[in-house]
Amino acid sequence: MVYIKGDTAFNESFATAVELEGLRLWLAKQGDPSAFQQALARLELRNKTHDLTKSASAELEQLYRQHNVLSENSLRKRKQRIFDELNKSYSRLLKSSGGRENGPFGAAPVAFNNARIALFSQYNQYVPAFRQLLKQSHYDFPEFYRAVEALSQQPEKQRRQALQDLSERFKENF
């Protein structure tokens, strides 16, 4: 088990990647194409939801940088508009996915706030990096765990850069 005290994004992304890849590999081995397709659809929905929250987070960061320029009331209203737009986008995403499933946040509408977005982002931030690392390890889990252990030993700045580089190289292979 690899765990870095105080690095939620690393720990949770690692766990999420192992969960996703383990499920993918297990379902492929079971030869149940319908279950595998359902898992792929959930993964795609999760990835698209992550893109939505990432975009909303960027907008919020930009808004918060204006705290010295805008009134508190104006900041609050603009923040609510960002959350409302996120809710609309999330609802459209769920409908476009066939509406058969709830998304990672459940059914729309969602009571989005900074904490919910941040937590979801931390759980998913480096999932592509860990999936890429597993792919580079030829899906050999012992080799993968050794690579993750080595990564965990790097200083934080280098580790984050390595994770970012791995994320950028990741391409979905389904």
Question: Which pLDDT tens digit goes with each residue over 26-81?
Answer: 888 888 767 877 877 888 898 899 999 999 999 999 999 999 999 999 999 999 99
User: What pLDDT shows up at residue 11?
Assistant: 96
Average pLDDT of the segment spanning 147-154: 98
- CB count within 10 Å of CB 144 equals 20
Per-residue pLDDT at 174 exceeds 60: no
Q: What pLDDT digit, counting tens, does each position of 110-138 carry? A: 999 999 999 998 889 999 999 999 999 99
Average pLDDT, the chain: 92
Per-residue pLDDT at 1 exceeds 90: no
Per-residue pLDDT at 144 exceeds 90: yes
Tell me the C-alpha distance between 95 and 128, whole Å: 25
Beta-carbon contacts of 41 under 8 Å, excluding residues fewer than 6 positions away, are 97, 101
- Give the 3-state secondary structure percentages of the chain, helix then strand then coil, rounded to 5: 75, 0, 25
Question: Are 122 and 12 within 8 A, CB to CB?
Answer: yes
Per-residue pLDDT at 103 exceeds 70: yes
User: What pLDDT shows up at residue 23?
Assistant: 85
Question: Are 25 and 139 within 8 A, CB to CB?
Answer: yes
User: What pLDDT shows up at residue 3?
Assistant: 96
Q: How confident is the model at residue 167 (pLDDT cuts 50, 70, 90)?
A: very high
User: What pLDDT shows up at residue 35?
Assistant: 82
Domain boundaries, the chain: 1-31+126-174, 50-123
- The model's pTM: 0.80
User: What pLDDT shows up at residue 98?
Assistant: 80
